[in-house]
Structure 1
Amino acid sequence: MKNTIAERIQDFLKQFPPFDSLQAEDLLLISSQIKVLYVQKGEYVFKQENPCNDEFYIVREGAVGLYRNFDTDQSLVDICDAGDLFGLRVIIIKKEYRMSAIADEESIVYAIPTQVFEPFIEENKEVNKFLLETFAAHARNYFTETDKGQRIDNTISIEVAKDLSTLRSISYLKKPITCLPKDTVRDIAERMTSKKVSCIVIVDKDKCSVGIITDRDLRTKIATGMFAVTSSVDQIMTFPVITYPKTITVAEAQIALIKQDVSHLCITKDGTQNSKLIGILSDHDLLVSFGNNPSVLIKEIKRIKKVQELRYIRKQVEKLLKTYLEQDIPTIHIINIISEINDALTIRIIELAIKKMIYPPPVSFCFLVLGSQGRREQLLLTDQDNAFIFEDVEEEYYESTQHYFIELANEITKGLHTIGYEYCPAEMMASNPRWCMSLSKWEMQFKDWMTTPTEEGTLLSSIFFDFQYIYGNVSMADKLSKVVFEGVNKGNRFLALLGVSAIQKPSPLGFFKQFLVEQNGEHKDTFDIKTRAMMVLIDAARILVLYHNVKGVNNTLLRYDKLAEIEPNNRELFESCAKAFRVLIKFRTRQGLLHHNSGRFIKLNTLSKNDKLRLKRCFRPVRDIQELLRVRFQLKNLI
């Protein structure tokens, strides 16, 4: 007789890793042993400090939060949705739980007996690897709490960057404090205090590590009176030490520190105890190698019920950004991750705004972001640029339909302002009736900009043509994109006029190679890094991808990568433009974080000589790309 419950469980499990790598008969065997748990909101699946159960878990429906407790404070570590595993500590370590699992809403959870599943872990490398990585992702949070219970965020991979930790090397102490086995505890304690370190490594005559003493050893063995301060260090040292080569990965360090229940790893020349000590890696070093946690932030965004609470998330994004810059993560990865979080924030604000409306949207619609967010290169909070497209309706219903979406846009722009996005001074927002139109009117507007270009139309098209779909009916955005490329393909006149705008941007340097600064206004005597440097590179990349009919590539760096493929004869120029843009966007971001603003207007007297030289090196590609536009589109005749 068939076990229909087991088959239903099997059908669910096979959708998710690591179960999708198991044979059908094996998965059915496991499914037949699984317990189904119905967990009410607020009910515990397991509690922190309790012994591990003989099972681990996967969420079938609902959501389970993982929390760390400190006195009366409870801090969210992660949220597990359908298909997410948790409670894996029983498989890896078999010790007490370091977190509590609490249902955030009414949930169905499958409890999988470890005894049934362990044979498949040993036989299947993919299963083994996945479980270790999942455990490591949750376990990182073990290192992100201070003694006072203050949360320090960490970084785990998200879809856009896969495993970002592999892009970072762990920074460890290169010259650890060492001593000999017969040194006294009093002597090494004084040395640790004077050097402000938490450990000392005991080495032999060949500088090979034979043991380690940490602050914890001094507390548990000396402060308790178990040993006298005159004891030799070999009496209280922990041995053997755990050693690794300097090529140790973040994942390896995580698992080693947790599994061995130690706070320090010794880094040796060849990774063994019998080779020379070259460094020491602590759990604090591992913490520093992480930034913030984009995965948890995005999950948290999706569950937040009030716009005001999203402001906290955006502040966390700034911390994440600062950490990535300090760790010198590749620019494109920083841009991708911050863009994913920005998009998630915008989507959640739209969802909350729709819930506030008296009735749902009357017709299909599409919400677009423009400018830097549309190019997916907005790292700092700037002003809003967005637009609404709604489905064509009969003329008699147009005004009421538009009114609905303007009201919705007011809620959205207000929400974005609440979390830190300033209102656009030029009102290029969906709340402006001019930028809240039906699809056919948007198509007419785009065609008008291209067929009868004006100075205003050229400026607006340079903003609106860098649009990015965020929410709603994506086919509307696709139709607008088609209009742009059809218009461009009919002739180069429109592109030439865009090119004129690009080459007429104010120069960054004067005749004597000095920085040209603003002459009046509130930004007098500052250098406008956006207008005088970055916008030329942005405009040129946009014009050239339109010229080559390259669709679906909005980001400036990716555009130059694509152009280098298409025009190998100009590869060097496009690569230098990309390099200059990476330097400029990081420079502007650092300035913005330092001065708590957009980073656009820079006070030159605050820069070092090296910083000024770095900026000036970026201006050569700016001039070169302007010259390419001038020649290709014969702009001398149009100026």
Structure 2
Amino acid sequence: MASAPSNSLIHATMDHLRRFAPFDRMEHDHLVWLAQRLSLGYYAKGEVIASPEQGVASRFLVIKQGVVQGEQDVVRAQEDAAWLELHEGECFPLGALLSKRGVTSTYRAKQDVFCYELAAADFHELIHLSPPFQDFCTRRIASLLEQSKQIIQAQYAHSSSEQQSLSSPLSAIIRRDPVTCAPETPVRLVLETMHALGIGSMVAVDNTQKPIGIFTLHDVLNRVALAQLDLDQPISSVMSSSLTALPPQAFAYEAALEMAKHGFRHVLVTQNGKLVGVISEKDLFTLQRVGLRQISAAIRGANDITALQHAAGDIRQLAHNMMAQGVAAEQLTQFISTLNDLLTVRIIEMECLAAGLLDSALCHTGFCWIALGSEGRYEQTLNTDQDNGIIFQEPEGTTAEQVRIQLLPIARRINEALDACGFPLCKGNIMASNPQWCLSLGEWKDRFAGWIQRGDAPVLLNATIFFDFRPLFGKHELAEKLRIWLHSTIKENRLFLKHMAANALANQPPLGLVRDFVVGEEHTLDLKLKGITPFVDAARIFSLYAGAGETSTIRRLRASGAQWHIDPATMEAWIDAFLFIQLLRLRTQHDQDERNVPLSNKIDPDSLNDLDRRILKEAFRQARKLQATLEKYFQF
């Protein structure tokens, strides 16, 4: 009978822990093992629970009741020293325990606090006993994200149960060994083989299995039947030599993007130059029914704004479908941006044709339409306005003003057409139809030079999106020349980067001291301004100093991380945090659209479930850590 109270306490402890990650995923026996070794600690309001002065971390703590504040000198929230707030069910100090070092923050009881406590030696033993516990401790935000994703997919089970993952490597999608032929094989034999095997394509290869051409069923009508080709002709006379190849480790969504960009129906899979498989549109989308290539084909074939308006609606519907099917945020924003690029390019082509400029030197070699902001970073969501500009080269004997006068009316019609297709005119007038952003290459250099030399906060606040420029149409070399000049100029101006960092650090993630979050009007958080922007700003600064040519936030972080020797695990935690906020933005806008309310980036944190609320708080903490690293590197 003496053991009954102890058993009751263990079961009560287990029931309490099961409400929180990672304990909700641990095996029963491992949870019992943990509960048997926990002690309960009490800390009065204001008492220090853990600090750097205490030396190597000696215990793992889980908050049972109360609130714990983390204080750190590097990053401060407003005028208070607290930079994070931990609530019931949250654990600390994982990093210190895993590294067997002291904590870097001071953890203090904000109010009376009770904590479950586990000795460091038992913590490390539990790491080896329980895979879910190990996964959570070593990949905390990634582990939480996976739980959230599973919940989302369960909510959309009716549409995602048959979903083929776009995150699958191509090696997992290849259905059969490739069927090939020699380039001299007669067309008749190729057609007979395709019919007998029920395949839609045949790849011509040389004697080393290197692909040199492809013939598809789509080619039969245009190149054989209508052309009344002699079927004894070699396949090399009708095959296409424009090939797109990806390695087996590339992802399905990369193949889908290639199909959308170029209007292809097949992508070759090659290893060391040799053909190992063929991925068709059917392979990717038979189950998904998302029609990515159909939308891109409709855009390419559009001859009026009405057709493009329908295509723009299809893009939004496709985004909704993919959102419901659990497609990852990084992939989804790339799909949206790629299709929006195609739509924009088609509008530019149509307006240049209407103005009689499509075949002119000015249209194809004299100017470049550039995307700015989120489109320039491939990070557009369902709610996006226009940010664009023009770089041009003055033909010999003309002035910049003369070229501008010629281009501005066309740019205005392009901006208006984009508006008609669901991309609202920029409220800040950052558009190519504004004379301020329709500039010669020399004028753009002068404009950037002015920003760099001044470097004051108001200027930088308005200029940051211009550093994300990406060429869309026309002479891409103009944008590349500007980027090369920009990187060399910034490299020599460290004071500008310091000002840019200070400007970025002024925008603190909304972690609260009284509650979990600092909310704005109508009790909402702005997921774009306060969530995404800290990551975007920091990645931009790191990338500019590193001279990297990437424009997307994730690629900028990874490229800069290698150059700055930032711990890969830390880098991936930042990226996971960024992607969760992007996912939350997309989900929010998807739900708003379903409810037929205006799309926005604002969310009431009280509307989130406990898991998403916890991940969002962790994501904001990662933003703070990224800002701390930014401040450390740019204090010169």
TM-score (norm 1): 0.57
Question: How many angstroms does 1:564 deviate by?
Answer: 3.3
> CA offsets per residue over residues 490-509 of structure 1, 9 Å max, x none?
03111111111111014312
Select the residue among 217, 225, 237 that pairs with 1:86: 217
> CA offsets per residue over residues 272-296 of structure 1, 9 Å max, x none?
xxxxxxxxxxxxxx98841412122
Residues 157 and 112 of structure 1, relative CA distance in 2, 3 Å threshold: farther
Residues 323 and 34 of structure 1, relative CA distance in 2, 3 Å threshold: closer
2:294 and 2:314 map into 1 onto residues whose CA distance is 11
Whether the 8 Å CA contact 1:409–1:431 is kept in 2: the answer is yes
**2:288 is the counterpart of 1:290:** yes
> Match for residue 455 of structure 1?
457
**2:494 is the counterpart of 1:496:** no
2:493 and 2:234 map into 1 onto residues whose CA distance is 68
**2:565 is the counterpart of 1:563:** no
> Match for residue 308 of structure 1?
306
Whether the 8 Å CA contact 1:58–1:111 is kept in 2: the answer is no
Residues 490 and 87 of structure 1, relative CA distance in 2, 3 Å threshold: closer
Residues 155 and 504 of structure 1, relative CA distance in 2, 3 Å threshold: closer
**2:491 is the counterpart of 1:332:** no
1:616 and 1:303 map into 2 onto residues whose CA distance is 46
Residues 407 and 108 of structure 1, relative CA distance in 2, 3 Å threshold: farther
1:353 and 1:327 map into 2 onto residues whose CA distance is 36
Select the residue among 236, 248, 258 that pairs with 1:159: 258
Residues 384 and 527 of structure 1, relative CA distance in 2, 3 Å threshold: same
Indicate the larger mover: 319-328 or 572-581: 319-328
Structure 1 segment 135-534 matched on structure 2, within 5 A: 157-159=256-258, 289-357=287-355, 359=357, 363=362, 364-392=366-394, 397-519=399-521, 524-534=522-532
Secondary structure at the aligned position of 1:582 is classed as: helix
2:398 and 2:231 map into 1 onto residues whose CA distance is 64
**2:620 is the counterpart of 1:622:** no
Question: How many angstroms does 1:354 deviate by?
Answer: 0.9
1:601 and 1:560 map into 2 onto residues whose CA distance is 25
Question: How many angstroms does 1:348 deviate by?
Answer: 0.3
Percent identity (aligned): 25
Secondary structure at the aligned position of 2:394 is classed as: coil
How many residue pairs get aligned? The number is: 414
Residues 337 and 494 of structure 1, relative CA distance in 2, 3 Å threshold: same
> Match for residue 540 of structure 2?
542
Instruction: Give 1:468's aligned amino acid.
Output: R
> Match for residue 586 of structure 1?
583
2:571 and 2:620 map into 1 onto residues whose CA distance is 13
Whether the 8 Å CA contact 1:540–1:626 is kept in 2: the answer is yes
Q: Which runs of 5+ in 1 are unaligned?
A: 1-17, 36-51, 60-81, 89-100, 118-129, 131-136, 138-153, 167-249, 256-285
Select the residue among 11, 14, 23 that pairs with 2:182: 23
Indicate the larger mover: 589-598 or 480-489: 589-598
Secondary structure at the aligned position of 2:464 is classed as: helix
Question: How many angstroms does 1:458 deviate by?
Answer: 1.1
Secondary structure at the aligned position of 2:529 is classed as: helix
2:562 and 2:197 map into 1 onto residues whose CA distance is 55
> Match for residue 606 of structure 1?
607
Instruction: Give 1:338's aligned amino acid.
Output: I
Q: Which runs of 5+ in 2 are unaligned?
A: 1-176, 203-212, 236-244, 246-251, 268-277
Secondary structure at the aligned position of 1:573 is classed as: helix
Greater RCO structure (CA 8 Å; 6+ sep): 2
Secondary structure at the aligned position of 1:465 is classed as: helix
Residues 31 and 365 of structure 1, relative CA distance in 2, 3 Å threshold: farther
Question: How many angstroms does 1:445 deviate by?
Answer: 0.7
Instruction: Give 1:609's aligned amino acid.
Output: D
Whether the 8 Å CA contact 1:155–1:291 is kept in 2: the answer is no
Whether the 8 Å CA contact 2:260–2:292 is kept in 1: the answer is no
1:578 and 1:112 map into 2 onto residues whose CA distance is 56
1:592 and 1:347 map into 2 onto residues whose CA distance is 26
Indicate the larger mover: 368-377 or 503-512: 503-512
Question: How many angstroms does 1:598 deviate by?
Answer: 4.2
RMSD across aligned positions (CA): 4.4
> CA offsets per residue over residues 391-418 of structure 1, 9 Å max, x none?
1357864333212211011111011111
1:486 and 1:632 map into 2 onto residues whose CA distance is 19
Whether the 8 Å CA contact 2:371–2:388 is kept in 1: the answer is yes
Whether the 8 Å CA contact 1:406–1:432 is kept in 2: the answer is yes
Whether the 8 Å CA contact 1:502–1:536 is kept in 2: the answer is yes
2:180 and 2:292 map into 1 onto residues whose CA distance is 27
Residues 591 and 110 of structure 1, relative CA distance in 2, 3 Å threshold: farther
Question: How many angstroms does 1:321 deviate by?
Answer: 2.0
1:429 and 1:557 map into 2 onto residues whose CA distance is 25
2:447 and 2:397 map into 1 onto residues whose CA distance is 18
> Match for residue 131 of structure 2?
none
Whether the 8 Å CA contact 1:580–1:621 is kept in 2: the answer is yes
2:354 and 2:490 map into 1 onto residues whose CA distance is 40
Whether the 8 Å CA contact 1:591–1:602 is kept in 2: the answer is yes
Question: How many angstroms does 1:115 deviate by?
Answer: 14
Question: How many angstroms does 1:54 deviate by?
Answer: 13
Question: How many angstroms does 1:480 deviate by?
Answer: 1.0
Question: How many angstroms does 1:578 deviate by?
Answer: 0.3
Indicate the larger mover: 434-443 or 588-597: 588-597
2:254 and 2:560 map into 1 onto residues whose CA distance is 33
Secondary structure at the aligned position of 1:382 is classed as: coil
2:190 and 2:530 map into 1 onto residues whose CA distance is 67
> CA offsets per residue over residues 212-267 of structure 1, 9 Å max, x none?
xxxxxxxxxxxxxxxxxxxxxxxxxxxxxxxxxxxxxx999x89xxxxxxxxxxxx
